[in-house]
Structure 1
Amino acid sequence: MIFASDLDRTLIYSKKAIGEGFGAAEVIPVELYQGEHISFMSPETARLLVELSKTALFVPVTTRTIEQYERIFYIRETFKPRYAVTSNGGNVLIDGEPDPDWRRHVAKSLAESEEAEKVIEAFGRISSPEWVKSYKHSDSLFYSIILDRENMPLEQVEDFRRELAGMRWNLSVQGRKMYLVPDGVSKGAGLLYVKERTGSSRIAASGDSLLDESLLRAADYAIVPRHGEIYASYMEAGLYTFTERDGMGAAEDLISKIAEWFALPAAENDSPSAK
């Protein structure tokens, strides 16, 4: 069994994203950057995840680059994940090292999408210093763009999203960041590779952004925090199961629900109604 989960705003939270009911003294620091703790997990989330990891393989799945993922010391030291999917699926780590076979597979998949240089050139037609602060080509796979969210031109961004689809790229806005990601780089594909390598029969997954949809579709059971892009896009569509709470409380809710699902008889949680 695999529990595959996005990290930021799903299991771990910045100070601004923690939500109601959690004070600074009541959370566990999990990420250190430039001498400062910048991400946190609730003690109950940590306890639940420790218990779940005794019976299921915990696979962190993140849009973060390898370097950014490695800053999350608490997950690395406490859970010592054998497998992790980073770079939005562009890298699969095995015992902390990128798997070369997977990277070769990704390189072939990227050939089916428009070249990265043409994508950023197209983005330049709507980009402005008023709302775009910086960008970088992360791991030579996708673009990570720092935004002034309040000044972002929503209509132009949505038009660009449709233009990107024709280039076989995707756009996701998460907090003050925008990601431009080619179709050949997906969390779901990376997870299915891990499933094949481990011979696992069942997957439960969680995530909050549109970049997590491939991850959720690869799972037999999926649950989404009551916040973020997916919740905003599908809250009334009935496509996903959402947690009872938002913010850091959502992490506690989703692990509890996943533990309940894993405890069901196999015939029941493998049925279509389990999704």
Structure 2
Amino acid sequence: MIFASDLDQTLIYSARSKGNIEIEDMVPVELYEGRHISYMTKPALGKLRELGSMLSFVPVTTRIPAQYDRIFGIKEQLRPRYAIVSNGGAIFEEGRIDREWDRHVREAVKTYCAGSAEMGELFAKIASPSWVKSTDLCDDLFYSIVVERDSLPLDQLEELRRQAVELGWSYSLQGRKIYLVPEKVSKGAALRYVKEKLASAYVYAAGDSLLDESLLLAADYAIAPAHGELGRVYDSHPHIRFTEARGAYAAEELLEAIFRHAAAGGADRNVPHHS
């Protein structure tokens, strides 16, 4: 069995996103420029370790490799065999890039999606210093754009979303970031590849954003924190459960739900889910 999970605002939390819990009651899991910037609750980290002894834990993130490397609490303490980074654009096996997947993704993007330059030009037509703080092309695959959320030109962005779909790209707004991603770069596709590599028959998955939806749909048991983008878009979902808890406590709830399901033989009994 596999447990594939998004990291930011699903398992790990910043001081800003942690919700109603004291930072002193959390465990630091990410170090950046000498500062701890991401945390997990102690029960969540303990439950994740328990799950890691029962099944194959696969961290999944939109972060590029260098950003993933900072999360020592996941990378060094749990030592996952596989990690999916760059929104599914890259897969690490035992710390090394999987070249087969790398070639597959880049060929698919080249064949079926408009080029990053074309997408970048489309965005540049509406971009303004009044709301765009920075624009980064990540791994030569997708754009991560830091914005001033209160100043967004929503009508223009909705038109951009529509045009992006025609070019084979997707649009997602998460917190203070806009992501523009080729449709052939997806967490779900990367998960299916890892599932085949591990010859796994059953997959648990967790994630909070629309960029995680393909990941959750590729899983047999899918759960999302109530506070996330998916929770705002869907009141309920036929395939995805939602936590009651919000913030860092949501990680505890979703990990406990997966643990109980797996420990009870849920994969064998095909226990029905609830939204």
The C-alpha deviation readout for 1:192-216, integer Å capped at 9, x for no partner, is 1111011011000000000001100
**Aligned partner of residue 15 in structure 1, secondary structure:** coil
Paired residue type of 2:253: D
Return the alpha-carbon distance in structure 2 between the equivalents of residues 78 and 124 of structure 1: 41
For the 8 Å contact 2:216–2:240, the answer to whether it is kept is no
Amino acid at match of 1:126: I
What SS does the corresponding residue of 1:19 show, helix, strand or coil? coil
Does 2:142 correspond to 1:142?
yes
The question of 1:215 aligning with 2:215 is answered yes
Q: Which amino acid is 2:90 matched to?
A: N
Structure 1: state its 5+ residue gaps.
none
Who is 1:95 aligned against? 94
Secondary structure at the aligned position of 1:257 is classed as helix
Q: What is the CA distance between 1:274 and its match in structure 2?
A: 4.0
1:72-102 deviation digits (Å, cap 9, x = unpaired): 0111121001100000000010011110000
Aligned equivalents of 1:240, 1:199: Cα separation in 2? 23
Letter in 2 for 1:184: K
Please state whether the residue corresponding to 2:146 is helix, strand or coil. Answer: strand
Deviations 1:112-164 (A, max 9, x none): 00111010101112111100011111011100111111111122212211111
The answer on whether the counterparts of 2:222 and 2:239 sit within 8 Å (CA) in structure 1 is no
Cα separation, 1, equivalents of 2:173 and 2:87? 14
Q: What is the CA distance between 1:44 and its match in structure 2?
A: 0.5
Q: What is the root-mean-square deviation of aligned Cα atoms in Å?
A: 1.3
Quote the Cα distance in structure 2 between the aligned partners of 1:30 and 1:237: 31
Cross-structure match for 2:75: 76
Change in CA separation of 1:237 and 1:48 when aligned onto 2, cut-off 3 Å: closer
Match of 2:119 in 1: 119
Distance 1:215 1:256 in 2: 19
Of all paired residues, the percent bearing the same amino acid is: 49
Normalising by structure 2, report the TM-score. Answer: 0.96
Contact 1:89 1:189 (8 Å CA) reproduced: yes
Provide TM-score, normalisation by structure 1.
0.96
Q: Tell me the equivalent position of 2:166.
A: 166
Structure 2 equivalent of residue 195 of structure 1: 195
Q: Which amino acid aligns with 1:72?
A: I
- Tell me, yes or no, if the aligned pair for 1:61 and 1:86 is still in contact at 8 Å: yes
The one-letter amino acid paired with 1:142 is F
Aligned length: 272
> How far is the alpha carbon of 1:235 from its aligned partner?
2.1
Following the alignment from structure 1 to structure 2, what is the Cα–Cα distance between the partners of residues 238 and 259? Answer: 21
Q: Secondary structure at the match of 1:135?
A: strand
Which residue does the alignment assign to 1:157? 157
Unpaired runs of at least 5, structure 2: none
Q: Which moved more, 1:238-247 or 1:72-81?
A: 238-247
What is the alpha-carbon distance in structure 2 between the residues aligned to residue 211 and residue 242 of structure 1?
16
Summarize the Cα distance change of 1:197–1:14 in structure 2 as closer, same or farther, 3 Å threshold.
same
Q: Residues 1-275 of structure 1 correspond to what in structure 2 (within 5 A)?
A: 1-20=1-20, 22-111=21-110, 112-236=112-236, 240-265=240-265, 266-269=267-270, 273-274=272-273
